C-alpha cells in the first residue's frame, strides 16, 4: 500500500542555519506515527512545512500519492490534513457548532442554516464521543473536551491525516485515556495520525511507528514494537543519558548538621472550595514534592502560600514569623513562585531575556539618590545567573523570550527568581513541555539550591519526576493532604492510591 504521507529529503534553513536536514520518512495509511525529539529538534518546523506555514528549500512531500506543496494553512486543510495544536485554537465566546464550521457555515442565501449546523455538529461530536449539545459555548468546556472539539473540527473536513501536537500536557489521566481510545478508533477508521509528545511511555503504547528527530535529522525510524524508552531517550539526546535524575545527597540544613530544621510551618490552612485543613512543615535544605491528580488543589495551595489567593483559616510561618500580605511581601521575605503556565504568568514574552531575568530584582539594581538603574552591576549579576542556570551561551541577552524553546524559557524564569536568592522556592510543574536534557539540568539546579539551605516545594504531575528528585512527597486529593512519604518509602502504587479520590 502506498503511504499516505511521504517526506523526501526535505530541508529548511533559517538565516543560513539548517534546522531541517535531509528528512525522509513515511506515514502509512491507518497508522499512528509517534514523532519525538528534544525541543528545537525540528518537529515544529517540520509540521509548519506540512501545514503550509513554511515552504521547504529542498526536497518534496507527497500526500495521497500526489506531490504536496501547500502554500497556506488553507491548502493543507483542503488536502485533508488536520492540526490539533498544543495551544488550542478555539473561540470560547462561540458555540461548539460555530467553532466547528466557522469557515464553512451551511448557508441559505445570506443566512446560516442553524438546524443543519446543529445536526452536522452533533454528528461530529458523536464521532469523537463528546456528549454535549452543539450550542454549548466553548468557554464552558474543560481542556479535554476542547481538545475533542478540535479533533471533531479535523473530522469536519474529513481529514485523512491528523496531527496531534503534545495533546496530553494539560489533560487529566482520565481525559488522556479517552483521547487515546479515540485515537485508536480513528486509526481503525483508516485515518492516520502523527502524534508528537514528550511523554515517551504514551508514544510507545499508542504508536505503530516511531520517528526520532535530533538537530533536524531523522536519527531513528522504527516500528514501535520492540522499542523501549531508554533507547528512545538515548537517540533523542544523542548520548547515553545514564541518569535523568541526579544523585541526591542526604538532605542537609546547609550548616553541616543533619538535624532537620523547620523553615516554613503551615498550620491548618483552609479555604472554601480549595483547601481543607492543610498542615505541613518544609525544612531547610529539603526538596518536598506535592503529588496528586489534576485538580487536586496543588496549584491552589501554592497560590495561597504565595499570597495570591486568600485563605480563611490557618497560619503560614517562616522561621517563626507569620507571613501575611501580598506576593510583594512574600518576595521581600525571599519566597519565589514559578507558575505552571510560564507563557502566561511567568514571562513577558515580547521582552528580552535580560529584561525578564531582571524583573523581580530590578529595585536592588537601582542606585540612590535618583534610583537610576546601574546597568554595569546589573549585567554582571545577569551574567553570573545565566551561567548558574546553564542558559545556552549562543542566546543573546537582548533576544525576545518568545523566540526561545520551552526549556530555555523555563531557565529564564528560574534565573529571574534565583537572582532574588530565595530561601523558599515553590515550583509548579517546572518541567512541563521541556525536553529531557533541559529537564535533567533543572533537576540539578533544584538540588543545588537545596544544598545551599533553601526549601524547595515541587508540584508535579509526573510521579517519576517527584520520586526522582524529592526527599519527601506529600499527596493531595480534593484539597486535602491524603498521604506523606519519606524517600525510603516511595512507592508508585501507594502514592497513586493516596491521590485517588476517596
Partner 1 sequence: MKNSFRRFLILALNHAIFLLFVAVLLVFSLLSPKFFTTGNLANLLVQSSSTAVVGVGMTFVLLTAGVDLSVGAIMFVAAAVAGKLVLLGAPLPAVLIAIVGVGLASGLVNALLVTRLGILAFIATLATLYVGRGFGLWLTQTRAMNLPDSFLTLGTTKLAGIPLPLLIAAFVVALAHLTLTRTPFGRQIYAVGNNLDGAKKAGLNTGRVLASAYVLSGLCAAIGGILSLAQLGAVSPTFGTNREFTAIAAAVLGGTSLFGGRGGVFPGTVLGAVLIQSVENGLVILNADPYLYPLVTASIIFLAVLLDSTRSRLLAHWSRRRVFVEKTI
Residues within the interface to partner 1 (CB under 8 A)? 73-74, 77, 89-94, 98, 102-103, 105, 107, 110-112, 114, 272-276, 295-297, 300, 478-479
What does residue 231 show for φ and ψ, rounded to 5 degrees? -65, -45
User: Helix 406-418 crosses helix 375-388 at what angle (to 10 degrees)?
Assistant: 120
- Please report how close the Cβ of residue 94 comes to partner 1 at its closest, in angstroms: 6
Q: How many CB atoms lie within 10 A of CB 86?
A: 16
Decide whether 112 or 237 has the Cβ nearer to partner 1.
112
Decide whether 430 or 479 has the Cβ nearer to partner 1.
479
Residue 86's Cβ-side half-sphere holds a number of Cα atoms within 13 Å equal to 15
- Please report how close the Cβ of residue 477 comes to partner 1 at its closest, in angstroms: 9
Write the Ramachandran bin of 292: left for phi over 0, alpha for psi from -120 to 50, otherwise beta: left
Q: How many CB atoms lie within 10 A of CB 235?
A: 19
Do 88 and 146 form a contact (C-beta atoms < 8 A)? yes
CA 6 to chain centre: 29
- Please report how close the Cβ of residue 89 comes to partner 1 at its closest, in angstroms: 5
- 8-state DSSP, 399: S
Quick one: how many helices (H) and strands (E) in the chain? 16, 24
Strands 335-338 and 424-428: parallel
- Please report how close the Cβ of residue 326 comes to partner 1 at its closest, in angstroms: 16
Decide whether 275 or 445 has the Cβ nearer to partner 1.
275
What does residue 215 show for φ and ψ, rounded to 5 degrees? 50, 40
- Please report how close the Cβ of residue 165 comes to partner 1 at its closest, in angstroms: 13
Do 389 and 357 form a contact (C-beta atoms < 8 A)? no
Decide whether 74 or 190 has the Cβ nearer to partner 1.
74
- Please report how close the Cβ of residue 135 comes to partner 1 at its closest, in angstroms: 13
Decide whether 116 or 360 has the Cβ nearer to partner 1.
116
Residues 6+ apart with CB under 8 A from 44: 165
Return the C-alpha cell found at 11: 530541508
Write the Ramachandran bin of 451: left for phi over 0, alpha for psi from -120 to 50, otherwise beta: alpha
- Please report how close the Cβ of residue 459 comes to partner 1 at its closest, in angstroms: 13
SS3 for 185? helix
Do 285 and 455 form a contact (C-beta atoms < 8 A)? yes
Decide whether 157 or 222 has the Cβ nearer to partner 1.
157
Do 433 and 166 form a contact (C-beta atoms < 8 A)? yes
Q: Which residues pair with 222 in a beta bridge?
A: 210
Decide whether 294 or 360 has the Cβ nearer to partner 1.
294
- Please report how close the Cβ of residue 156 comes to partner 1 at its closest, in angstroms: 12
Cα–Cα nearest to 353, from 395, 406, 381, 405: 395
- Please report how close the Cβ of residue 179 comes to partner 1 at its closest, in angstroms: 20
Q: Which helix (H) or strand (E) covers residue 499, if one does?
A: helix 492-499
Decide whether 95 or 168 has the Cβ nearer to partner 1.
95
Residues 6+ apart with CB under 8 A from 458: 287, 288, 289, 290, 427, 430, 446, 465, 466, 469, 470
Decide whether 114 or 367 has the Cβ nearer to partner 1.
114
Decide whether 381 or 496 has the Cβ nearer to partner 1.
496
- Please report how close the Cβ of residue 148 comes to partner 1 at its closest, in angstroms: 17
Decide whether 274 or 450 has the Cβ nearer to partner 1.
274
- Please report how close the Cβ of residue 256 comes to partner 1 at its closest, in angstroms: 40
Decide whether 185 or 341 has the Cβ nearer to partner 1.
341
- Please report how close the Cβ of residue 88 comes to partner 1 at its closest, in angstroms: 9
Return the C-alpha cell found at 202: 504514551
Amino acid at each position: 500500500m502506498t503511504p499516505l504521507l511521504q517526506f523526501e529529503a526535505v530541508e529548511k534553513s533559517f538565516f543560513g542555519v539548517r534546522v531541517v536536514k535531509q528528512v525522509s520518512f513515511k506515514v502509512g495509511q491507518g497508522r499512528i506515527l509517534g514523532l519525538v525529539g528534544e525541543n528545537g529538534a525540528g518537529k515544529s518546523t517540520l509540521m509548519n512545512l506540512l501545514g503550509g506555514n513554511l515552504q521547504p528549500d529542498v526536497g518534496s512531500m507527497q500526500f495521497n500519492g500526489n506531490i504536496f506543496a501547500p502554500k497556506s494553512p488553507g491548502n493543507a486543510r483542503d488536502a485533508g490534513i488536520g492540526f490539533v495544536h498544543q495551544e488550542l485554537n478555539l473561540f470560547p465566546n462561540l458555540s461548539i457548532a460555530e467553532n466547528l464550521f466557522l469557515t464553512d457555515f451551511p448557508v441559505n442565501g445570506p443566512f446560516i442554516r442553524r438546524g443543519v449546523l446543529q445536526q452536522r455538529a452533533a454528528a461530529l461530536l458523536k464521532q469523537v464521543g463528546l456528549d454535549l449539545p452543539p450550542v454549548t459555548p466553548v468557554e464552558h468546556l474543560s481542556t479535554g473536551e476542547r481538545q475533542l472539539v478540535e479533533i471533531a473540527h479535523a473530522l469536519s473536513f474529513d481529514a485523512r491525516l491528523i496531527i496531534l501536537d503534545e495533546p496530553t500536557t494539560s489533560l487529566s489521566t482520565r481525559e488522556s485515556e479517552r483521547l487515546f481510545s479515540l485515537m485508536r478508533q480513528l486509526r481503525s477508521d483508516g485515518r492516520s495520525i502523527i502524534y508528537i509528545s514528550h511523554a515517551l511511555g504514551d508514544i510507545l503504547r499508542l504508536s505503530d511507528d516511531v520517528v526520532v528527530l535530533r538537530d533536524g535529522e531523522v536519527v531513528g525510524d522504527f516500528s514501535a514494537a520492540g522499542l523501549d524508552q531508554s533507547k528512545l531517550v538515548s537517540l533523542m539526546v544523542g548520548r547515553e543519558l545514564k541518569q535523568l535524575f541526579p544523585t541526591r545527597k542526604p538532605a542537609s540544613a546547609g550548616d553541616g548538621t543533619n538535624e532537620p530544621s523547620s523553615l516554613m510551618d503551615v498550620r491548618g490552612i483552609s479555604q472554601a472550595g480549595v483547601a481543607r485543613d492543610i498542615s505541613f512543615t518544609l525544612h531547610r535544605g529539603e526538596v518536598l514534592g506535592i503529588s496528586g491528580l489534576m485538580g487536586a488543589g496543588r496549584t491552589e495551595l501554592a497560590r495561597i502560600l504565595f499570597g495570591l489567593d486568600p485563605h480563611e483559616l490557618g497560619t503560614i510561618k517562616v522561621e517563626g514569623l507569620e507571613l501575611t500580605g501580598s506576593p510583594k511581601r512574600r518576595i521581600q521575605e525571599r519566597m519565589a513562585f514559578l507558575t505552571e503556565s510560564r507563557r502566561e504568568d511567568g514571562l513577558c514574552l515580547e521582552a528580552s531575556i535580560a529584561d525578564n531575568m531582571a524583573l523581580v530584582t530590578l529595585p536592588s539594581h537601582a542606585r540612590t539618590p535618583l534610583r537610576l538603574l546601574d546597568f554595569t552591576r546589573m549585567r554582571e549579576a545577569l551574567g553570573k545567573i545565566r551561567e548558574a542556570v546553564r542558559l545556552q551561551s549562543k542566546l543573546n541577552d537582548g533576544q525576545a523570550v518568545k523566540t526561545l524553546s520551552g526549556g530555555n524559557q523555563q531557565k529564564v524564569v528560574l534565573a529571574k527568581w534565583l537572582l532574588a536568592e530565595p530561601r523558599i522556592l515553590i515550583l509548579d510543574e517546572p518541567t512541563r513541555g521541556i525536553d529531557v536534557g533541559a529537564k535533567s539540568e533543572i533537576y540539578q539546579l533544584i538540588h543545588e539550591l537545596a544544598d545551599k539551605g533553601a526549601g524547595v516545594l515541587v508540584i508535579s504531575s509526573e510521579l517519576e519526576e517527584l520520586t526522582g528528585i524529592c526527599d519527601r512527597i506529600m499527596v493531595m486529593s480534593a484539597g486535602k493532604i491524603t498521604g506523606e512519604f519519606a524517600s525510603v518509602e516511595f512507592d508508585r502504587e501507594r502514592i497513586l492510591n493516596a491521590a485517588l479520590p476517596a
